[in-house]
Amino acid sequence: MRVLAIETSCDDTAAAVIDATGVRSSIVASQDLVHGPYGGVVPELASRQHVLAILPVIERALATAAITLADVEAVAATHGPGLVGSLLVGLQVAKGIALERGLPFIGINHLEGHLLAIFLEREIEFPYLGLLVSGGHTSLYVVEALGRYRLLGRTRDDAAGEAFDKGAKMLGLGYPGGREIDRRASAGDRAAVHFPRATLKSGGYDFSFSGVKTALRQVLLAGREIPLDDLCASFQEAIVDMLVTRTMTAARTLAIQTIVVSGGVSANSRLRTRMAGAGAADRRAVAFPRLAYCTDNAAMIGYAGRARLLRGERHDLTLNAEATLPLGLVERAAALPGRS
Ligand code: KG4
Ligand code: ZN
């Protein structure tokens, strides 16, 4: 089954063609230049930009796969979670194509796409722990099977990428700033400043990054002369530490052998090193999809869409965009240990 997939949940316009041989094309048009001056995604601008980019991006995806619309056998599109104005652009175009061509259609949860992106490159055994870290999400899931996701914890405030970006803004670095912090941190002293690591009273696997952000602001207000590289390294270490600690605790508690990290923040070199080190020390496998499949893309939506379509699942064309579309049920730590 040859699937055209479309993803417009945030600020990237993406289309891909997936078939039995794998990814035939995956095109992403970034809006970073549009949002950069504002230091964050401006929803209204994102929707307008999607409207301009969506058809050319689809045309490029088809051309790169050396097919035309007539060769497409089914359509998949992200229908949540995300910015409604952004989601609607891709979703409506996908439904329009399905209607016009009389093709099966399926809506996909963006988070499911991220959690399954690793399958674009390799097989992995269930269950695995999926750490999803991006500009919009920081969540830890047990991926039990295709379509069965158990949410262990998520951020109570900022996403990890958002914390990186806001920190970068305070430090006068550009947007999105995660990569710049990563680059500067490699030359900095991780122990120069001790930033707080959030431990939540209720236990469990939720994350919180507002404390480290506030701490950075206080350090800057205090006016101490700390080299920028050292600030970046210390700030990054606190965020990475929280991500690695929670994830490894969950892996041990639930006796899960494989960990998959995805989302834009998984590009972070320190996170990669620390996760790989913790995995090796614990004899657990740690996998990262290639970067192009970690950041927002339509190939991952195509993978999830195709897998569901092959199981006979379909949505009708009344499917709507949902800003807060949930994935998986939250289980609190107290309920977990006996369940591995
Ligand atoms: O998944 P993604 O491309 O987009 C969405 O969140 O939708 O993730 C982007 C996020 C941004 O916050 C960006 O600063 C962060 O990923 N990021 C990084 C790095 N590269 C991208 N954060 C830390 N270190 C990096 N090397
Ligand atoms: Zn994403």
User: Do 152 and 170 belong together in one domain?
Assistant: yes
The answer to which of 71-75, 220-224, 295-299 has the lowest mean pLDDT is: 220-224
User: Do 107 and 152 belong together in one domain?
Assistant: no
Whether the pLDDT of residue 23 is over 80: the answer is yes
Q: How does residue 25 score in pLDDT terms, banded at 50, 70 and 90?
A: very high
Confidence (pLDDT) at 198: 79
111 Cα to the center of ligand 2, angstroms? 7
Mutate to test the pocket of ligand 1, among 154, 162, 179 (most ligand atoms within 8 A of CB): 179
Confidence (pLDDT) at 79: 97
User: Do 31 and 145 belong together in one domain?
Assistant: no
What would the two tokens of residue 75 be?
A: 């359509």
Instruction: Give the ligand 1 atom nearest the CA of 159.
Output: 12
How much of the chain, in percent, has pLDDT values that exceed 90? 89
Whether the pLDDT of residue 275 is over 90: the answer is yes
Q: How does residue 269 score in pLDDT terms, banded at 50, 70 and 90?
A: very high
pLDDT digits (tens, 9 = 90+) for 206-215: 999 999 999 9
User: Do 283 and 299 belong together in one domain?
Assistant: no
CB 325 within 8 A of CB 151: no
Confidence (pLDDT) at 39: 82
User: Do 249 and 331 belong together in one domain?
Assistant: no
- Domain of 78, CATH number, reads 3.30.420.40
Distance in angstroms (rounded) separating the CA atoms of residues 87 and 9: 5
Distance in angstroms (rounded) separating the CA atoms of residues 7 and 171: 32
Residue 330 region, left (φ>0) first, then alpha (ψ -120 to 50), else beta?
A: beta
Q: Work out the average pLDDT over 141-162.
A: 95
The 3-state DSSP composition of the chain as helix, strand, coil percent (nearest 5) reads 45, 20, 35
How much of the chain, in percent, has pLDDT values that exceed 70? 95
Whether the pLDDT of residue 202 is over 80: the answer is no
Which residues lie below 8 Å from residue 303, measured CB to CB, with a gap of 6+?
Answer: 18, 113, 116, 117, 119, 120
Confidence (pLDDT) at 336: 41
Distance in angstroms (rounded) separating the CA atoms of residues 131 and 265: 10
Give me the phi and psi of 234, to 5 degrees please: -70, -40
The answer to which of 159-163, 222-226, 242-246 has the lowest mean pLDDT is: 222-226
> What is the span of the domain harbouring residue 307?
3-115+294-337
Whether the pLDDT of residue 203 is over 90: the answer is no
Whether the pLDDT of residue 333 is over 50: the answer is no
- Judged by its nearest atom, the ligand closest to the C-alpha of residue 78 is 2
User: Do 133 and 268 belong together in one domain?
Assistant: yes
Confidence (pLDDT) at 335: 38
Q: Which of 15, 20, 22, 12 is nearest to 77 (CA)?
A: 15
User: Do 234 and 204 belong together in one domain?
Assistant: yes
Q: How does residue 337 score in pLDDT terms, banded at 50, 70 and 90?
A: very low
Q: How does residue 328 score in pLDDT terms, banded at 50, 70 and 90?
A: confident
User: Do 38 and 137 belong together in one domain?
Assistant: no
251 Cα to the center of ligand 1, angstroms? 24
Which residues lie below 8 Å from residue 117, measured CB to CB, with a gap of 6+?
Answer: 262, 289, 293, 294, 297, 299, 300, 303
Whether the pLDDT of residue 64 is over 90: the answer is yes
Residue 204 region, left (φ>0) first, then alpha (ψ -120 to 50), else beta?
A: left
User: Do 211 and 111 belong together in one domain?
Assistant: no
Q: Which residues sit with their C-beta closer than 6 Å to ligand 1?
A: 10, 134-136, 161, 164-165, 176-179, 182, 263-265, 267-268, 295-296
pTM across the whole model: 0.93
Cα-atom radius of gyration of the chain, to the nearest Å? Answer: 20
Closest protein CA for atom 23 of ligand 1: 178
User: Do 144 and 250 belong together in one domain?
Assistant: yes
Instruction: Give the ligand 1 atom nearest the CA of 236.
Output: 23
User: Do 283 and 303 belong together in one domain?
Assistant: no
Distance in angstroms (rounded) separating the CA atoms of residues 98 and 24: 20
Confidence (pLDDT) at 213: 95
Mean pLDDT of the chain: 94
Q: How does residue 105 score in pLDDT terms, banded at 50, 70 and 90?
A: very high
User: Do 135 and 215 belong together in one domain?
Assistant: yes
Report the domain count for the chain: 2
Q: How does residue 306 score in pLDDT terms, banded at 50, 70 and 90?
A: very high
Q: Work out the average pLDDT over 283-294.
A: 96
pLDDT digits (tens, 9 = 90+) for 168-189: 999 999 888 999 999 999 999 9
Instruction: Give the ligand 1 atom nearest the CA of 10.
Output: 7
Distance in angstroms (rounded) separating the CA atoms of residues 271 and 239: 9
Instruction: Give the ligand 1 atom nearest the CA of 270.
Output: 24
